[in-house]
Amino acid sequence: MKAYVFPGQGAQFSGMGKDLYDNSDIAREMFEKANEVLGFDITKIMFEGTDEELKQTKVTQPAIFLHSTILAATLGDSFQPDMVAGHSLGELSALVANKTLSFEDGLRLVSKRALAMQAACEAEPSTMAAILGLDDEVVEKACEEVDGVVVAANYNCPGQLVISGAYPAVEAACEKLTEAGARRALILPVGGAFHSPLMEPARAELAAAIEATTFNTPSCPVYQNVVAAAVTDPEEIQKNLVAQLTAPVRWTQTMHAMIADGAEEVIEVGPGKVLQGLFKKVDRKFPTSSAELEA
């Protein structure tokens, strides 16, 4: 069985998607439609922009979503997923790829998500930190023992868990986890505390947009971040997507579930190879590859 996975924020690079635009009529049409939906020329920033321009909130998330969903659309008949999943933002790309959402609706939700998250970040100084080399349970316990808001946010792979919360609480947790033997406890250069209770204003704002959007029956199961299990019911998909902003990304658990349910190979659709690397941490011999535009 083929599993297609879609990356999240951080995989952007200048020039992303240009090869698709130049070599595919389908891609060109979708990029032009994206400019229209967003109301600005995102393709110009993706193809020619600086790293700083690509880091703008209104650009980063839509850019990664566009690269992933447009690449999937250009794969033609070879794109026959048995299951899909996406890391954080990538879940919206996965939901377009398995036909739960239309391309335009997915893009509108991504744009709203980015702006709502930015507003929540500005409301309270907050951050995230990567904790390497400890069991998940040790990290969870340390977060519970620290005063203030700090939670396990991204279960990326065994031995790699990102925590998220208010600055002082994250710093205190990092100290505690270093003492507990973490190989690294590194504050990340991010705008705020994603996948934590501090994203509640964004969750509430996005919930209204998600509930007003049509969710179709998917062409194959999506393994959602919140439950780390296969979901096919459109209402349940909708509910889990709303919960995603304040709940942890259970990617380690998702990888195990996909493999347990019969995934025999993983194809990453979008910029970078981060998710392939995470699958290799679960099983070094597991077959992974990157989706490529058909000649």
In the three-class reduction of DSSP (H, G, I as helix; E, B as strand; rest coil), residue 121 is classed as helix
195 is catalytic: yes
Residues 6+ apart with CB under 8 A from 77: none
289 is catalytic: no
d(C-alpha 167, C-alpha 172), whole Å: 9
Q: How many CA atoms lie within 13 A of 57 on its CB side?
A: 15
Residue with tokens 């062409």: 219
Q: Is residue 57 within a helix (H) or strand (E), and if so which, with residue range?
A: helix 57-74
In the three-class reduction of DSSP (H, G, I as helix; E, B as strand; rest coil), residue 178 is classed as helix
Residue in 87, 111, 126, 195 annotated catalytic = 195
CB atoms within 10 A of CB 82: 16
Residue in 88, 111, 164, 196 annotated catalytic = 88
| ∠ Cα 92 96 100 (to 5°) | 100
Residue with tokens 């933002």: 89
Alpha carbon distances (Å) from 86 to 156, 169, 200 = 12, 28, 21
- Catalytic residue IDs: 88, 195
